[in-house]
Every structure is written in structure tokens, then in C-alpha cells.
Structure 1
């Protein structure tokens, strides 16, 4: 009996404080966002084949030579180690945090496994000379694990700040799920547009389909997302006295969307310079992250979002 008690005490000693776990989960979500942006830099600078070997850059040489494309690709690989380590740490910590719902630990595990899977997927992408579908899969998997990281981070902060029952009716929460699906469809159509345009990954990388066709789909997917979002926004506006802070969050999301639209228009008129496209991708990832967080808060709001909730926690 004393042995079991000793083991239980050691196990509890490994448990992080909720505030420490929340900070770790937030750092993980931030790292998962950063790797999306750095990965887009690799593609948009045509550096995807800068390193032709893996995990080293060249056969017989682990580090890159003087070529700028090699440095960009290898640098992205080094940066990619950070989210792998952080997602692993978050999952291990989630397992030991008894106050955290078990489903959150499973999401943390899936996030770690998805992040780890990026390494062999990247190797396959290089092996098949940046096939557009593999490059797109690489990017979309990054967005999926980013969503997982955000959900875990919000659940972690729920432990710190407290949570309340949903502030909006079930039909609006279900509309939020449709909004997240529409946002994902919007991002997917954007990746097809990139694959069909001048930034497919390199001068020798074949395009995927036609740019006009991809733009046709992307514009209509944007309209679909806009309609769903306007419905959610209108619903919250009509009932903003019941959930004023959720409504304020939706207005902040409108601001990010307007900036994204402006950058998209400018980059198109400027004939898609890669620097502006990087900003566009970074904003797209930010929109995706914000939508995931917004929908998660519709279902499991923090106490601070309730009318009269304390902002200072």
C-alpha cells in the first residue's frame, strides 16, 4: 500500500499547475501558427527543393551550403522541431492534469501525431518533386493541427479562468460548425489557387489545373463563407445583450477578414509578389485560427465572456 501511495505521489509531483499548462498550450498553438507561415515562405520563394536530402540538407552534408534556397528550406526544418517538441510536451502534461477533460488530452495527442507526421510527409513531398497535391496536404495538415492546438489552449485557459455553460442557443452553435467548415473550404480553395498560379513551388514545378478555374471556385467559396458568417454575426448582433463579449469577438474577426480581403485585392493587382502572398497566407492562417477559437468558445465559453464576467480573471 505504501508503494502505491509513493507512486501516486510521484505521479502528482509531475503534474503541472493549470497556469503553467495554459502557458505551455498557448506557446504550442503559437508555434503551430508560426510553422504555417514559415512553410509558406519556403514555397513562395521556390525553396522547397533547396535541400534534396532528409533529415540532412544534402547527401553527405547535414547543413546547407551557400545557396539561399537551401538555407530557407533547412531553416524551416529547424523551426519545425519546435512545434514537435511543444506538442509532445503538451500531450504529456495533459495526461497528468487531472482537472483537464480526457477528450482534451486525446486532442493533444492527435495534435502531436499530426505534427510529427509532417516530417515523413515533407520527405515524400521532396521525393515526388513537390507534387501539388502533396504540398497542399502538407499545408492543410498544418492547419488541422493548428486547430487542435487552439482547442487545447482554450480548454487549458478554461481551467485557469473558469468556464460557463454555452451563452448561445444550439442552432447558433451548429451554425458555428458550418462556419468552420466553410472557412476550411475557403482555405482549401485558396491552396488550389496557389497551386494553379505563379507560386506553385518553382519554375519547373507543374501547375495544378488552371488559374481561372481555381479563382472561379475560390470566389464562390468566399461568398459561401461570407453568407454563413453574416448569419452568425447577425444572430449575435440581435442578441448582443445576452453575450456582448462574444459579439465583440465576432467584430474583431470582421476586422481581420477586412484586412485579409484588402491584402488579397492588392496582391492580385500587383501581380502576386511573393512578399504580399506571404502576408496573405499569414492572414489566412490567422483567420482560420480565429474562426476555430470563436466556434470553440460558442460551445465552451470562458467565464470572462459571460455578461458581467471579470476581465482580469
Structure 2
């Protein structure tokens, strides 16, 4: 086991790698939770439950109103996200982490700060759909960075070898990330000015048909690419255990996502099913990033630190 990484010229690390991994896991979990609470705010029409920011109306605490409680709850979770990402950054620094992993950990709080500022701007501009979309996409960016940090921290604790995979397979795994992002972006375009795609009063950007046109084709590209990756990893599962497991988990999430998507469409898009769809979409996004990170690493001998740590 590796307790921490030492940097030349610095004293011994004050925090263990396990503590860093725990802090990174907390940050990732909090970021996922704030997406869920943020989506709940959006889908229940609670975005202006607190009409100003950072206060909630004339007081700091919300009035006895459902929408105010939902919006205020999301703000509380957002505050927790800020604390956990700061903790992860501090743990990375105190553990003696260096290079890209340290930069990623230190970047998390700043990304969350930008997200919080954009959230306040969203309220000021009365939920302008473009700002709402940007707020959600910034959340996904933070989750992607948190995944990178967690996997890097995990590599400090469990020094596992990376599989020797062909370059084309690694490249294809990385390409899945921007394609998945296109899927998410076109999904937000379908949702538009909401509160969600099944709402009674929806102001869309351009044509719904155009958004669906791009979404369907991005789905096809992602599906074909992922099937190739899944098949290639299945053939190499004996020496690519972690990568194969990540691909299998992503496959199961995609199946669930498709089932929920079909059910919500056939049931006139009830908000709670749309929320489940958003949660699964976020999980799919995180799983795509996990797979891309694992595939993007070069092979390393047993016991040697993976490149992500440097």
C-alpha cells in the first residue's frame, strides 16, 4: 500500500492517501447530490421559491412554503459541496500530491464557486433558460473533475496495474466523453425553458425537431462507439478487469436510462420520472468519465504508480 506521495523539498505528508480518497469521495457524492436537488428545484417549479440570493425573501431562512423549502434545501446542499471540495483540495495538498492530480483537486473549489455565482445570477435573471442550462452543464463539469480526482486518489491507496490495451481502444474510450456531452446538451435543449419537457408552458430554443435530430444522431454515434468498446473489453476481460467492470456498469445504467426515458414519455412526462431520468443521466455521465479515465491510462507494472498520480 502507498500512504501518500512525497514531493522533493517538502516534509513528510501530513495526511494519508486514504484520507485524501475519503475526502475526494465526499466531494464527488456531494456534487452528485446537488445535481439531484437542483433538478428537483427545476422540476417542481421552485427556482424562485427564494426570490433573491443569498437571502430567501426578507429573511435568511425560508418561509413556510414548499417551493421555498426546496430551493433553500438546494442552497444548503450547495454550501456543503463547497466545504467538501475545499476539504478534498486541502487533503490533496497535505497528502503531498503533485502534478495534474493536485491541479485537479485544487480546481474543484473554484469550479464550485463559479457554479454558485452562476446559481445566484440564475435567480437574478429569473431563471433564464440559457443560464439554467449553463448552471447544469457546469455541474457536470465539476462531477467529471471530481471523478478524475477520486480515481487519482484511489490509485494512491490501491496501486493497481493498468491493462495494456491498443491505442485505438483508448482513443475511442476518450472520444465517448464529448459525444456523451452532446447527448446531455441536446437533452437540455429539449427541456428548454421548462420547468421540464412535460411542462404546460415551454419556450424552446428553435425547433424541437432540430434538437431531437441532433440528439438521436449523437445517441447513434455514442451507441456504436460504446458497443465497440464493450465488445473489445469483453474479449480482453482477463487482463482488463477494472475497465471491463466500468464498461459493464455503464451498459446497465444506459439500459435503465432508456427504460425510464420510454416510460416517462408514455406517461406524459411526470416530474418525478423526469427527475429519475436526470439522476440516471448524471450517473451515466460520471460512468463515461470513469471509463474514459481508465482507458486513457498507459499500462503500468504491478506496484508502480499509475500516470494519473504524477
Bin of the TM-score, shorter chain as denominator length: 0.7 to 0.9
C-alpha displacement of 1:222: 1.1
C-alpha displacement of 1:201: 11
Q: Which residue of 2 aligns with 1:85?
A: 83
Counterpart among 157, 164, 168 of residue 167 in structure 1: 164
Unaligned runs of 5+ in 2: 1-8, 304-310
Matched positions, count: 295
C-alpha displacement of 1:271: 0.9
Q: Is the 8 A contact 2:159 2:302 kept in 1?
A: no
Say whether 1:242 aligns with 2:239.
yes
C-alpha displacement of 1:107: 0.8
C-alpha displacement of 1:167: 2.9
C-alpha displacement of 1:200: 6.3
- Distance in structure 2 (CA, Å) of the matches to 1:67 and 1:205: 24
Say whether 1:189 aligns with 2:212.
no
C-alpha displacement of 1:253: 1.5
Say whether 1:154 aligns with 2:154.
no
- Distance in structure 1 (CA, Å) of the matches to 2:302 and 2:179: 25
Deviations 1:240-263 (A, max 9, x none): 333244223312211111011000
Q: Which residue of 1 aligns with 2:103?
A: 106
- Distance in structure 2 (CA, Å) of the matches to 1:128 and 1:173: 42
Q: 1:200 to 1:121 in 2, by over 3 A?
A: farther
C-alpha displacement of 1:142: 0.2
Q: Is the 8 A contact 2:174 2:295 kept in 1?
A: no
Q: TM-score normalized by structure 2? A: 0.88
Counterpart among 91, 94, 104 of residue 92 in structure 2: 94
Q: 1:161 to 1:143 in 2, by over 3 A?
A: same
C-alpha displacement of 1:197: 5.7
- Distance in structure 1 (CA, Å) of the matches to 2:177 and 2:81: 23
Counterpart among 131, 134, 151 of residue 134 in structure 1: 131
C-alpha displacement of 1:181: 1.2
Q: Which residue of 2 aligns with 1:41?
A: 40
Q: Secondary structure at the match of 1:27?
A: helix
Say whether 1:177 aligns with 2:174.
yes
For residues 185-264 of structure 1, the aligned pairs below 5 Å read 185-195=182-192, 199=196, 206-264=203-261
Q: Is the 8 A contact 2:237 2:244 kept in 1?
A: yes
Q: Which residue of 2 aligns with 1:62?
A: 60
Q: Secondary structure at the match of 2:192?
A: helix
Say whether 1:27 aligns with 2:26.
yes
Deviations 1:124-167 (A, max 9, x none): 11111111110000000000000111110111010111032443
- Distance in structure 1 (CA, Å) of the matches to 2:198 and 2:52: 17
Q: 1:148 to 1:245 in 2, by over 3 A?
A: closer
Q: Is the 8 A contact 2:42 2:195 kept in 1?
A: no
C-alpha displacement of 1:72: 0.6
